[in-house]
A and B are shown apart, each in its own frame.
Chain A
C-alpha cells in the first residue's frame, strides 16, 4: 500500500481576478522507500500539490476537495495541532533556496535544535548532541564549528546540507524536496544528489522530488509524474518515461525532444514546443495542452481527456497516446491537405 497518496486533490487560490485552480484534480502516490519525481514547467502546480500535503499554502490558498492519505489517514481532515506534529517529524521539506529558508539571525545549532526540542522530549544538551550527529551524517566538514555559525557564513552547498540535516533530523517517513539543487552549481548539485540517495538508502525514506530538470529526475526518481496546468498528464516508471515506449503524452514527448542531449548533433534544430503555458485564469476548454500540441484534433479542443491506465503502471491523459498512430495520422492529414 502506498505510504502517501493524493486522491483527486484540488487546491485553489482566491485572487482579485478570480479563482486560480493551481492544482486541479491531482492523484499520485509515493510507496515506502521509493522516489517519485514530479516534473513540469513553472505554474504547472507541482510545488503547490506537494505543499498542500503539509498545508503550507499562502493565506489565499485552500484545499477545495480531495484526499491526502498518509499512513492510512486523511490529512485534509487533520486539525492544526495534528499537522504541527507531522510537519518536520513524519513529513519534512527541503526548500529551493537555502538562503531564504534558513533564519539569518539564529545559529545553525539553534535552528537544528529546534527540531528535536519540538518533536522529541529531549534536553537542550541532548538536542545539541543530536544536531552534531546530523551535521556529520550530511558530511559537513568541521561540524562543531559549523554549529556555531550563522547561515550567511556558509556556502550555498553547505546551507543546503544544513537544510537536509534539518529535514532528516527526526527520520521522517516522507521527504519533500522542492527543487533542492536548482540554485546550486553542477558539481555541488552532484554532491547533494548523491547525499540524498545515500541517506534514502540508509533510512528507507520516501522522497517526493520536485524539479524542472529532466536530467536530475532521471538520476533520482523511481517513478515520474509529469504535470501540466495543475494536472498530471503522464505517470510511469522512470524507465518507461525515458526509455523506448510505444505510448506517451505529447507534452512529455515535446519536453524530451526540446532539451539538447549530449548526443544531439550540432546544427540540428531543437524541436521546440510552440507557444507558452496558458494563463491560469484563462485555461483552454478541452485538453489543456491542445493549443500547443501538434497532434491536436477538434476533439481535443472540445473535450477534456481523462487520466487512464494504458498499460500496467503507466497512466496517460490523452486521446491519442500511441506514438506511431498519431504520427501516421498527422502525416495523412498533411497529405490530405496537399491533395486539396
Chain B
C-alpha cells in the first residue's frame, strides 16, 4: 500500500476498516455478539471524483459513510486523510507513537516472527486444508502489517535502524515545533476574525456618518498584535524547517541502504482519522461534511435557516458572533444553493421537501468542505425535485472542486452521478469499478443480480426483472466463507469455506469472488 499518487491524488484511503456494534447479551456469561456492519473494507477515494456506494438496505453503506467522518469510533483499520498534511494538525497520536517507538518495534518483531511461522505452515498444507487455515494466516499478516504501518508512516526508513533513540528525539523535536506552530496559527486566526468583525462594524458606522475614535484605536491595536504574532510564527516556522533539514540530512546519509529505502516508501503525510482525539477531529469536521437523507428530521425546527447555516460557521471560527459579514456570506451560500436570500429568517416547516434538502446542502457547503458524504440525499424527494437537486449537487461539485461519496440504492441515479461505483453486500465491498465497466460487464454475481432486479423505463427490458431469491442473512452471524454464497447460483465448496480476496481483476476493476463472471449481462 504505497503512496502511489502518480495519476490521481488520493483524498481518503481506507484500509481494513471494521465497524462492529455490540449486541446486548441475552444470557449471563454468554458470548458477546456484534453486528458486523462494516467488515474489512479497503477503498481509495480520489480527489474530485464521485464515488457511488450501492447495496440493499442493511448492507452497511450508511455506516461506512459515517465511519469515514468518524461519527462512530471505528473498531479496526485505518482511514488516512490526505486533504491536509499531518503537520498542519499535529495530532497527539504522533507523539504517542514516537515515544513508544522502541517498544513498538520489539512488538513488531514478535508479530513478524509469528506471521512468518504461520505463513510457512500454510504453504506446507495442500489446497483443501489451506481453505480453513487461510483466515488465521491472513489475520497474522494483517496485524503485523498494521503495526508496521503505524510506525513506518511517521518515521519511514529510520525504522530499519538498530538504534532508534537519536532518531526518536529528532522526530519528537519536529513534532513539538509543529504543534507549537499549529497553536500559534490557531490563536492568530481567532484574533483575525475579531479584527475583521470590528472593521466591518467601523465601515458600517462610517456609512451612517459616524466615526468612533475608540474603535479605530482598538483596530490599530489589533493590527499591531497581529503583526507581532506574524513575527513569532515566522520564527517558529524557521525553527521547524531547521529541524526538518536536520532530518533530511540524516535521511540522505542512510539512503541507498536496501531496507531503509524499502521502509522509506511507506512514509506518509496523511492523517489517520481513526486515531484522532475528539477535539482534533472537530478541527477536521469542516473538511468532511454530510448531507442527510431525510430533509424533515435533519433540520432543527426551532432554528431559522440563517441560524442553521450559521451554526457551522461559528463553530469553525469562520466569523465572530454578530458579524454582519456572516449574514452576507450566508445569503450568498443560500443563493448558490438555489434558495432566495430573503428566506433567511424562515423556519424549516415553511419550506417544501426540495427546499429543505437545499438548506441541508447549504449548511454542509457553507464551511467549504473538501469531502461530502451524500447519504441518500435525493431518495426522499419527488421525481421532478430529485433531478433539480442532482443538478445542483453536480454544479456545486464543479464549482467548489468537491469529492462526493454518494450513497444510494437507486442504480440509475448512481450510474448517472458517479465516476466509480462500489457495490456493498453485508458489510463488505464486493465490487468496485468505473461506472460504465460495472454496468457493462459486472464481475460479481451479486452485482449481476442487482442489475437484473432494477426496473427501468426502457420498453425493451420490460417484464424481464429476475429477482434474487432469499433475504439478506443476519450481519450478527454472517455466513462463513463468501457471505453471498447462500443466495449465489454459482456457489461452490470454495465459496462456503474461504473468504475471497478483493483483487484487481482488470485495470481499475476490483472484485471479491472465487468465480469471477466472464460474460455480459446488460448490453
Chain A residues within 8 Å of B, Cβ to Cβ: 41-42, 155-158, 184-191, 193-194, 197, 212-216, 218-220, 238-239, 242-243, 254-256, 258-264, 266, 269-274, 276-277
Partner of A190, one of B388, B394, B459, B467: B467
Nearest A residue (CB) for B412: A260
> Beyond A266-B416, A276-B385, is A239–B459 a contact (Cβ under 8 Å)?
yes
- Determine if B416 and A264 form an interchain contact, defined as CB atoms under 8 angstroms apart: yes
- A191 CB, nearest partner CB in chain B, Å: 4
- Which residues from chain A contact B471 at a C-beta distance below 8 Å? 155, 157-158, 188
Given A194-B465, A260-B415, are A215 and B456 also a contact pair (CB < 8 Å)? yes
B462 touches A219 (CB 8 A): yes
Residues of B within 8 A of A259 (CB): 383, 386-387, 412, 457
A45: min CB distance to chain B, Å? 14
Q: Contacts A186-B409, A215-B456 known; A255 to B450 CB distance under 8 Å?
A: no
Interface string of B398-418 (1 = CB under 8 A from A): 000000000001011101111
Q: Does B297 lie at the interface of the complex (its beta carbon under 8 Å from any beta carbon of A)? A: no
A42 to B386, CA, bound (A): 13
A154 nearest CB across to chain B (Å): 10
B468 at the interface (CB under 8 A from A): yes
List A contacts of B465 (CB < 8 A).
190, 193-194, 219
Q: Is the CB of B468 within 8 A of A262?
A: no
| B300 within 8 Å of A (CB atoms) | no
Known contacts being A41-B384, A186-B411, A187-B467, is A266 close to B457, with CB within 8 Å? no
Contact A41 B383 (CB under 8 A): yes
* B388 near A277: Cβ-Cβ < 8 Å: no
Interfacial chain B residues near A191, Cβ < 8 Å? 467-469
Q: Does B462 lie within 8 Å of A218, measured CB to CB?
A: yes
Q: Of A185, A191, A193, A197, which is in contact with the most chain B CB atoms at under 10 Å from its CB?
A: A185
Q: Which interface residue of B386, B394, B416, B439 has the most chain A CB atoms within 10 A?
A: B416
CA–CA, A41 and B384, complex, Å: 8
Rounded to whole angstroms, the CA-CA distance of A261 and B387 in the bound complex is 12
- Pick 14 A–B contacts, CB within 8 A, sort by A: A41-B382, A187-B56, A188-B56, A190-B465, A215-B456, A218-B458, A218-B462, A238-B459, A243-B459, A260-B417, A261-B457, A262-B456, A266-B415, A273-B388
How far does the Cβ of B392 sit from chain A's closest Cβ, in whole Å? 9
Residue on B nearest A191 in the bound complex, by CB: B467
CB-based closest 7 A-B pairs: A260-B416, A215-B455, A190-B467, A190-B453, A258-B387, A185-B56, A272-B387
The CA-CA distance from A265 to B259 in the complex, in Å, is: 49
A216 to B388 CA separation, bound complex (whole angstroms): 21
A-chain residues with CB within 8 Å of residue B413 when the two chains form the complex: 260
Q: Once the chains bind, are A194 and B467 in contact (CB under 8 Å)?
A: yes
Q: Which single residue of chain A is at the shortest CB-CB distance from B439?
A: A262
Shortest Cβ distance from residue A199 to the other chain B in the assembled complex, whole angstroms: 14
Shortest Cβ distance from A239 into chain B, in angstroms?
7
Q: Which residue of B lies closest to A215 (CB)?
A: B455
A191-B467, A260-B415, A260-B416 are known contacts. Are A218 and B457 too (CB-CB below 8 A)? yes
Residue B463, interface by CB 8 Å: yes
A218-B455, A261-B412 given; name 12 further pairs at CB < 8 Å. A186-B454, A187-B450, A212-B383, A260-B390, A260-B415, A262-B411, A262-B439, A266-B417, A266-B418, A270-B416, A272-B391, A276-B354
